Amino acid sequence: MRFVMKQLVTLCSVLLCFSACNSDSAFVSGGELSEDVSAAANTITEADYLEKISKIAHDSMGGRNTPSAGLNKTANWIAEEFARFGLTPGGDDGSFLQYYTIETLRPNPGMSSAQIGGKSLEFGSDIVVANGVGQGDIQGEVVVLAGLEDLSEGVASSIDGKIVLAVSMPEGYRTHRRAISDLRRAGALAVLVATEKNDQEWTATSDAMTARNTLRIGSGSSSNNIAFEIRDEAIADVLVENGIDLNALRNTRNLEVMEANGMQATLSPRSQMVTQDSAPNVVGILEGSDPDLREEYIAYSAHMDHVGIGNPDSEGDSIYNGADDDASGTIGIVEIAQAFSGMKVKPKRSSIFLLVSGEEKDLWGSAFFADNPPVPVDQIVANINADMIGRNWSDTVVVIGKEHSDLGATLNQVSNVHPELGLATIDDIWPEERFYFRSDHYNFAQKGIPILFFFSGVHEDYHQPSDEVDLIDTEKAARISKMIFYLGNEVANNPNRPEWNPDSYQEIVVEGGGR
C-alpha cells in the first residue's frame, strides 16, 4: 500500500508540469482524422473490451502459466480472433502460433567441476549453481567485489569480461537477483557469491540447489545468466595467497573492486535434462498499403501469460487470473488489431500483432520472437508494448521509454490532438524500479528497435489471486487502446522511421545496459 501511495504523490507532481513537457516533432496527420480512421478507433469499446478480457482472465484458463493447457487455450482463442479479423498468419507452418522449446534441467554435480586459483572445488560441498543453468565452460580472471552500493560507471568497466566474486550481496530474492543482473549487464562472465554459512546451513542450500529444476528456452548454453554460491572456507586460503582477506572485506560499505594478482578460474557446470515442452506466441500480420513502406513493420505486443495456480488466498482462491497482468494489455492489442484490420485503407506501413508467452519467466516469448521474427528484424521500425493498463488512475498512463527516441515526441503530439480520450501520457515516474528492463519491449530495444511501453503501475493485487476482471477499469483500458491505435497509425504513415536518441542508443543497444 505504501508503494501505491508513493505512486500517487509522484503522479500529482508530474501532472502539474505535463503540458509543459511536450515537445514538437514531425506530425503527419496534423490532428485531422479521416472518417476511416475515426470509425476504426470507435470499434474499440468498453463493452467489447470487457467481453474479451472476461474470456482469458477466467478460472477456466488456469492462470495461463507457461507452459500450460490454459495458456494454449488462450493462444488458440487469440489465433481464432486474428483469423476472424483477416490477418495473415506469422507463426509456424502458415499458422498464427510460433512455438519455442522449453527445457527443464537439473544440476548434475557429479559431472560438474570448478577450479579457482589452481585449487579444485567440488560441486555440492564447496560450490553450487544458485541461478540459471549451465552446459558450457566459463574461463576468466577473478576480481573481488565488496560493498552493496549501486554499480558506478568506473566499477562497471573494471568487471567487464571478468568472473566476479561478490563478498556481500543484498538480502531478499528480488534485490539479490537484481544485483546479479546488474553485474551481468556490466559484462561479468559469471557471478560467484561468497557465503559464511555453517555446515548445516550450507547442506540445506546445497541440497535445495541440487534438487531444483530450472526452465529455460532453447537448447544452447545458458551460462550467460549463471550465478554460483561458494563457501568462504573453500576459497579463503587461495584468496589470502593472492592478497585478499574475505573477513576484512565482509563489512565494507563503499563499493570496491579488487584484483587478485590475475587469479584465474574455470567453471564447468553441467545439467541433465528432466523434461522438454513448448509454448506458443501468437503472431498476426496486417500488410500496409504503401508499395514501399509496407516492407517496414510496427510491432504491437503484450504478454498473454501469467503465473498459473499457486498458494490460495484467505478465501481459498488459488487461481492467479492476471486480469491486469497482462490480460489487460493482451486484449488491448487484440482490440487494436481488430480496429486496423477493419480500415478500408490500411496504414502505409505493415503491422505485427504479437501476443507472447513466458514473460513472467524471463521474457522468454519476446526473446524468441526477437531472434526469430517472420520478417527481417531491421525492418521492424518500432515496438509499442502494453503491460498492466487496467488499474490505478483513470486519467493517466505512464509511458516508459519516451526519452529514448522521437516516438516520445510523436506520442505527445498524438495525445495533444486527442483530448477526448481524457488521458495524460506521462514519463516514467519510477526509474528506480527499472521497469524499462522488465517487460517484453526490452528484447526489441536490444535489437535496436525504438520502443514505447504503456504501463499503469503495480498495485496490491499484483501477482495475487485477487487480480480479477471486476477490478479492471475497462473504460480506461479501452481509451489507452485507442491512444495506442492513434499513435500506431501516426507512426505507420510517417515517411520517416522513428529515430533513437543517440545517447540512449549507445547505452541500451551498443552497451546493452541503459544504465
Identify whether 311 is part of a domain.
Answer: yes
Q: What is the pTM of this model?
A: 0.84
Same domain, residue pair 240 and 295? no
Q: In the prediction, which pLDDT does 27 show?
A: 55
Q: In the prediction, which pLDDT does 187 show?
A: 86
Q: Is 369 helix (H, G, I), strand (E, B) or coil?
A: helix
d(CA 302, CA 360): 12
Residue 221 has pLDDT above 70, yes or no: no
Name the most confidently modeled range: 248-262, 375-389, 434-448.
375-389
Residues 379, 288: contact at Cβ < 8 Å? no
Q: Which CATH number fits the domain that encloses residue 121?
A: 3.50.30.30
Percent of the chain with pLDDT over 90: 75
Same domain, residue pair 114 and 214? yes
pLDDT digits (tens, 9 = 90+) for 413-464: 999 999 999 999 999 999 888 889 889 999 999 999 999 999 999 999 999 9
Contacts of 24 (CB under 8 A, 6+ apart): 409, 413
Residues 388, 455: contact at Cβ < 8 Å? yes
Q: Which CATH number fits the domain that encloses residue 27?
A: 3.40.630.10
Angle between the 69-85 and 329-341 helix axes, to the nearest 10 degrees? 20
Residue 294 has pLDDT above 80, yes or no: yes
Same domain, residue pair 184 and 252? yes
Which of 269, 293, 317 terminates a domain? The answer is 269
pLDDT digits (tens, 9 = 90+) for 240-252: 999 999 888 887 7
Tally of domains in the chain: 2
Model confidence band, residue 385 (pLDDT cutoffs 50, 70, 90):
very high
Q: In the prediction, which pLDDT does 338 show?
A: 99
Q: In the prediction, which pLDDT does 2 show?
A: 31
DSSP 74-130: HHHHHHHHHHHHTPEE-SGGGSSEEEEEEEEEEE-GGG-EEEETTEEE-BTTTEEEE
pLDDT digits (tens, 9 = 90+) for 163-212: 999 987 666 545 566 777 778 878 899 999 999 999 999 999 999 999 98
Residue 3 has pLDDT above 90, yes or no: no
Which of 218, 251, 269 terminates a domain? The answer is 269
Which of 269, 288, 316 terminates a domain? The answer is 269
Mean predicted confidence (pLDDT) in 498-515: 85
Please state, as a whole number, how many other Cβ atoms lie within 10 Å of the Cβ of residue 1: 7
Mean predicted confidence (pLDDT) in 39-52: 98
**Which residues are bridge partners to 400 per DSSP?**
453
Same domain, residue pair 447 and 365? yes
Q: In the prediction, which pLDDT does 218 show?
A: 75
Same domain, residue pair 166 and 238? yes
Same domain, residue pair 263 and 336? no
Nearest to 397 by CA among 415, 423, 416: 423
Identify whether 126 is part of a domain.
Answer: yes
Same domain, residue pair 250 and 360? no
Q: In the prediction, which pLDDT does 219 show?
A: 54
Residue 133 has pLDDT above 90, yes or no: no
Q: In the prediction, which pLDDT does 10 show?
A: 46
Identify whether 515 is part of a domain.
Answer: no
Domain housing 174: 109-269
Same domain, residue pair 223 and 129? yes
Same domain, residue pair 113 and 260? yes
Q: Which residue has the cell 515526441?
A: 409
